[in-house]
DNA sequence: TGAGTATCATCTCTTACCTCA
DNA sequence: TGTGAGGTAAGAGATGATACT
C-alpha cells in the first residue's frame, strides 16, 4: 500500500536506494507511473511492469523480456547476486539492470502489470519463505512497518508481498474460525433441539396424566415428580395451578432434597 | 472546539494464476 | 493432454483511526 518504505529487497541487494512518496489516494496515478519508460529507443519502450521483473528476480523465476524491436528474451534464472555478477557479460544483463533501475526510480511498492499486454503474473513464495512467514504470523498476526521491512528483507521479497501475505493469512484465519464457530453453533442447535423435543414429550406425558386422574393417584411408587423443598411448589403438570407462578418442570427429580 | 480533509492500515470481496487430481 | 476444483497472491474499493488545518 502507500507504504513508507524506503527500499525493497531487490533494491537493497543491488545497492540501489530509493524513496517512495506514494500514497493510497493516488493509486491510479501510481499505476500509470509504473508503466515503465526505459528511456532508450522509443520503439523499444517496454510496457512491462518493472514490478514484475523485480518479483521474478526475487523469486528466482524466469525473467522474460520482449520488445517489438529485437525480441530480446532473457529466460534465465537470475538471483540478485547473479545479476551483479553478470553485470558486464552482455546486453541481456544490461537490459535487466536497466529495467531494475527504471523500476527503482518509479516505485518499489506494488507489483503492477499492464493488463492489456501482459496479464497478472503469479508469484509463488517458496516453502522456506512461507514457513518463515507462518512462523512470524504465529508470533504476531499484524506487523508494524519496521517489522514488515525487516521481514521483507529477510525473505528477499517486497514489503508489499509481506503485507499481502499477512492480509490473506488473517482472512484465512478468520474464515477458518468462522467455520469452527459455525460447526459449534450447529452442534449447540442440535443439542437444544434434542432437549426441547424431550421436554415437549415429557410435557405431553404430564398433560396426559393430568387429564386422566388426580395427580396424587397417578404418582407411581418411584415418583419422578415431587414438591420442591425450597419453594414448596409441586414440580409437574399440575404445579402452579393454584398460583400465579408458572409451573416448574423438573426433568426427573425424585423425592429428594433437591431445591429449585 | 468542531468540521473538513489527508493519510494510512486494515478488511473484504474479487480476480487471475498455478497446481494437482 | 485437456479440464475443473481448490489454493493463494494480488488488485480494488470501503472503512475506521489519527493528525493536521
- Beta strands (DSSP E) in chain A are 62-63, 76-77
C-alpha cell at A251: 426433568
pTM to 2 decimal places: 0.49
Strand B protein footprint, C-beta under 7 A: A 1-4, 23-25, 119-122, 124, 142-145, 163, 167, 170-171, 174
pLDDT at A205: 94
Rounded CA-CA distance A183/A180 in Å is: 5
C-alpha cell at A223: 415418583
C-alpha cell at A42: 522509443
Find residue A77's DSSP bridge partners: A62
Strand C protein footprint, C-beta under 7 A: A 24, 27-28, 31, 51, 55, 110-113, 120, 122-125, 130, 160-161, 164-165, 167-169, 172
Confidence of residue A133 (pLDDT cuts 50, 70, 90): very high
State the DSSP H helix or E strand holding residue A118, giving kind and residue range, or none if neither.
none
Q: A145, A54, A138: which is closest to A98 by C-alpha?
A: A54
Question: pLDDT digit string (tens) for A20-38?
Answer: 323 333 333 333 333 322 2
Amino acid at each position: 500500500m502507500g507504504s513508507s518504505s524506503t527500499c525493497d529487497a531487490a533494491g537493497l541487494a543491488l545497492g540501489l536506494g530509493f524513496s517512495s512518496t506514494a500514497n493510497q489516494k493516488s493509486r491510479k496515478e501510481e499505476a500509470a507511473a509504473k508503466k515503465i519508460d526505459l528511456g532508450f529507443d522509443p520503439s523499444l519502450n517496454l510496457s512491462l511492469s518493472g514490478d514484475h521483473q523485480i518479483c521474478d528476480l526475487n523469486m528466482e523465476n524466469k525473467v522474460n523480456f520482449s520488445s517489438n524491436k529485437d525480441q530480446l528474451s532473457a529466460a534465465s534464472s537470475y538471483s540478485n547476486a547473479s545479476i551483479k555478477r553478470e553485470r558486464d557479460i552482455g546486453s541481456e544483463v544490461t537490459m535487466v539492470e536497466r529495467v531494475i533501475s527504471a523500476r527503482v526510480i518509479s516505485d518499489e511498492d506494488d507489483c503492477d502489470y499492464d493488463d492489456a499486454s501482459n496479464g497478472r503474473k503469479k508469484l509463488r513464495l517458496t516453502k522456506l519463505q512461507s514457513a518463515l512467514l507462518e512462523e512470524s504470523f504465529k508470533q504476531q498476526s499484524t506487523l508494524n512497518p519496521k517489522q514488515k521491512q525487516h521481514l521483507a528483507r529477510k525473505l528477499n521479497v517486497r514489503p508489499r508481498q509481506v503485507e499481502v501475505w499477512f492480509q490473506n493469512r488473517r482472512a484465512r484465519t478468520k474464515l477458518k474460525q468462522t467455520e469452527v464457530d459455525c460447526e459449534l453453533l450447529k452442534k449447540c442447535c442440535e443439542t437444544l433441539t434434542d432437549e426441547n423435543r424431550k421436554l415437549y414429550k415429557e410435557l405431553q406425558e404430564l398433560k396426559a396424566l393430568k387429564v386422566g386422574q388426580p395427580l396424587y393417584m397417578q404418582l407411581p411408587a418411584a415418583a419422578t415428580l415431587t414438591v420442591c423443598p425450597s419453594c414448596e411448589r409441586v414440580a409437574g403438570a399440575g404445579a402452579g395451578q393454584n398460583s400465579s407462578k408458572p409451573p416448574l418442570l423438573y426433568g426427573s427429580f425424585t423425592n429428594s432434597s433437591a431445591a429449585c
